[in-house]
Structure formats: structure tokens, C-alpha cells
Structure 1
Amino acid sequence: MHRFLALCLMGALSAPWAAPARAQANTSAQTHPSTSAMTSLRLHQAAAANDVSAIRQLLKEGAAIDSRDAQGRTALLVATHGNYVDAARALIEAGANVNAKDDMQDSPYLYAGARGLLEILKMALAHGADLRSTNRYGGTALIPACERGHVETVRTLIAAGVDVNHVNRLGWTGLLEAIILSDGGPRYQQIVQLLIEAKADVNLADKDGVTPLAHARQRGYKTIEKMLTAAGAR
């Protein structure tokens, strides 16, 4: 008798009309994210809106502070992209990882350095920024800062101890990028001077053997040429 009932039960579960019920249950589970996932999504939204109150409340509710979005970005990196200083401060002070990289190999620290977002950069430096971390081009935060002419960012990164002679995958240092990718104007002259004062190797050539001085001469950057020559460039 018991065996008969068991067989009947097994048959009912395997019957055609049971499949839709199971499928519906599985679909329901897949289309309804967990509470923690929804809370983390809202944290990213709050960061994108620079909503400090919402950030703090969501963290209290258990939002994972370093959870990632579809691009691999943390909420802190989202806030950094918008240069939302208040949101970034709330997240950093709550323990967000300033070195967490997204799918593009950007971290809050690297992105702030590259874009000259000085306030966020200084907070990142004060909360464990990895000075040796590199971007997708193999460059430190200093190299793109030199390229983009962010004088105070360069000054800040040099003072923090970033290697001024680091070479990226293109074969360029910060000094080379401040010449090759610049207009040779006042901002770049200041950056070259900062690098010289920080003991950058003025004779460190690119992968083709072209020196900073040769690049400056090719572009007609007379002021930078004089600065390099005075520092011993050949």
C-alpha cells in the first residue's frame, strides 16, 4: 500500500502539468533579485546621485560597500566618475576600497589621478591607495596626470611617492607624456619642472630610443628644451 502511494506521488510530480509549476517557481526565483542585490544596486544609484543620506542608510541596511555593477564598478568608482566628493567621502570613510578596479582596470584612485579630481585623490591617498597600481596601459596614476596637464595632481602624486620613472606599455614615462602628448604650454612646463625637481631621469628614452630632449626639439618646445638641458639632458 505504501509503495503504491509512493509510486502515485512520483507520477504526479513527473506528470506534464507539474512542469509549468516548477518552471514558474524557477522563473520567479530568477526574476526577483535578492534583497542584498537590490540594496547594492540602490547604493550605486545613490552614489550616482551624490545622495549621502541614502548611502549611509543603505550601508546600515547591509548594502555590500564594494559590490560591482555590470561594468565591474564599485559605488565609490561611480561617485568618482561624477566627481561627487561628498558621496566619495561617505563611502571612503565607511571603508570602501579605493583600489578596486573595474573591467577597464580603473580604480577610484587611478581614475581620480588621471582626471585631476584632486579632492577625491587626496582622500584615496589617505586611505590606502596603492601607488604601484597601474591602469590598462600599464601606467601609474602619475603618467596620465602628466599627459592631461593636471599640475596640482602631479605635485600631489609626486609628494605621495609615486615612481616618477615608471614606464608604461607604450614605453613612456610621465616626463615623455608631458612632452609628446602636450602643447608645450605653461601647464606642461610646470609639470616638466616638477618632474625634474623630483629627480626624473631626463635621459630615459622611449622604446624607439628617442629622448625627452629630442622630442622637445622635434616639437619646437623651446622652454622645455632649455629646462631639460639645464637638468643635464642629452
Structure 2
Amino acid sequence: MTRRAILTTGLGLLLAACGGCKVRGEAVLNEELLARAARGDAAGVRDALAAGADIEARDGLRRTALLLAVAADHIEAADVLVAAGADPNAQDSNQDTPWLVTGVTGSVAMLKTLLPARPDLTIRNRYGGISLIPACERGHVDYVREVLKTGINVDHVNDLGWTGLLEAVILGDGGLPHQEIVALLIAAGADVNLADRDGVTPLAHALAKDQTKVAALLRAAGAR
């Protein structure tokens, strides 16, 4: 092998090695970004992004840094990511998105943090529901009140054939939080006679579950 060939081969190996280092370096940065977002280290998130981490990097469950921050309700970390352009609609392997997760946690502060990123209010979770529905089920009164201001579809029907109103009755306990949610949905124009796929109305479900106060609210709104 000539001297030139040796030098050329050596340079090629060096460049390949450097390229590998670069790839490994990016992977490390991405892992750091995800870890820092998960523990709410806003400064660390900012540093990782500044160093070149991919803002849409995914973990083993395809969760982004923003989704991890949202799930743990780390407002400051999420704010940094939103300001940097993180996607509020990026779905993980469970079909959750940062925006959808706010309906599960019920965090009004996180809802307000994500709204400037213009999340898709129609995107569906693995049950075919939008963020309003799990919030109704879980009794997140303040979240329901706030999300209804966005113009989200109050009568969206999920894959089970249930609206937010039906979930509030069927999966709720009829207590004060679910009563308030039913009242909020009614005030927002929810169809109180929109039945499930078996033809059972919210009122019929409320009566079957002995939710007398919920039933009274529904009757007052014209439920049959």
C-alpha cells in the first residue's frame, strides 16, 4: 500500500470514528434532555437544548421531553420546551400527547402553558377521547371549567360511545365535583339527551346510579 493510500485510509477511519462520536454525543444529549424534563430541571432542559439536543427526541415509550414534563406537572420545564417549539401533539406508544395528558392530570397551569403552542383540541387518545373526557371522569372541575373556554367539542363521543357528560355520570360518584362538572357541561351547551350506543341517556344512567342531585341538574336542563 502506498503512503498516500495509507494516509487516505487513516483519514477515512478517523472521520468515521468522529462521526460515531457525534452520533453518540447526540444520543447522550437527548437522554439528558429527557431525564431533565422528567425531573423538572428547567435550567438543565435549556442547557441540553442549547448544546444541541433534539427537542423531539423520544424515550423507549416514544415520550418526548414535553410529554414527560407535562405528565409530572413540571410547569417551568414545559414552559422552556414550549418556548423552544416543542410539539404539544406528539403521540407516544400509548397514543398520549402532552395536550391529552393535561386532561388526565387536571393541571390548569399546564393547560395554560401549552395553549400558546396551539395544541390540536381534536386529537384523540387510545379510547378515542379528547382531553375533556378524562377530566370529566376524574372530577377535575377547574380543568373542565378552563378547557371549555377553548371551544373544545363538548359533545365529542369516544370509542366507547360516551361523551364527557356520560363519563361524568357513568364513571363519577355523583358527588360535588361531578355535580359541578355536569353543571359546567350543561352551561357549555352539552346535549343532555345524547345517549350512549345502547340508547341509555345521561339521566337514565344518573337514576340507575342513585345520583339524585345529578339527575335534578339534568332534568332542569331538559333531560329525558
Q: TM-score, normalised by structure 2?
A: 0.89
Alignment correspondent of 1:82: 72
CA displacement at 1:124 relative to structure 2:
1.1
Moved more, 53-62 or 210-219: 53-62
Alignment correspondent of 2:220: 230
Q: Deviations over 1:166-196 (max 9, x none)?
A: 0000000000000000110000000000000
- What secondary structure is seen at the aligned counterpart in 1 of 2:28? helix
- What secondary structure is seen at the aligned counterpart in 2 of 1:34? helix
> Unaligned 5+ residue runs, structure 2?
2-15
Question: Where do residues 187-202 of structure 1 align in structure 2 (5 Å cutoff)?
Answer: 187-202=177-192
User: Percent same amino acid at aligned positions?
Assistant: 50
Contact 2:103 2:133 in 1 (8 A): no
Residue number among 43, 55, 70 corresponding to 2:33 in the alignment = 43
* One-letter amino acid of the structure 2 residue matched with residue 126 of structure 1: P
Alignment correspondent of 2:155: 165
Contact 2:71 2:105 in 1 (8 A): no
- What secondary structure is seen at the aligned counterpart in 2 of 1:59? helix
Alignment correspondent of 1:142: 132
CA displacement at 1:33 relative to structure 2:
5.1
* One-letter amino acid of the structure 2 residue matched with residue 119 of structure 1: A
* One-letter amino acid of the structure 1 residue matched with residue 177 of structure 2: R
Greater Rg by CA? 1
Alignment correspondent of 2:194: 204
Residue number among 196, 205, 217 corresponding to 1:215 in the alignment = 205
Alignment correspondent of 2:45: 55
CA displacement at 1:126 relative to structure 2:
2.4
- What secondary structure is seen at the aligned counterpart in 2 of 1:37? helix
Establish whether residue 115 from structure 1 lines up as the match of residue 105 from structure 2: yes
How many residues end up aligned between the 2 structures? 213
For the residues of structure 1 that align with 2:37 and 2:198, how far apart are their CA atoms? 44
Establish whether residue 153 from structure 1 lines up as the match of residue 139 from structure 2: no
Contact 1:125 1:160 in 2 (8 A): no
Residue number among 116, 125, 144 corresponding to 2:115 in the alignment = 125
Alignment correspondent of 1:91: 81
Aligned-residue RMSD, C-alpha: 2.3
Runs of 4+ in 1 over 2 A off after TM superposition: 29-34
Alignment correspondent of 1:71: 61
Q: TM-score, normalised by structure 1?
A: 0.85
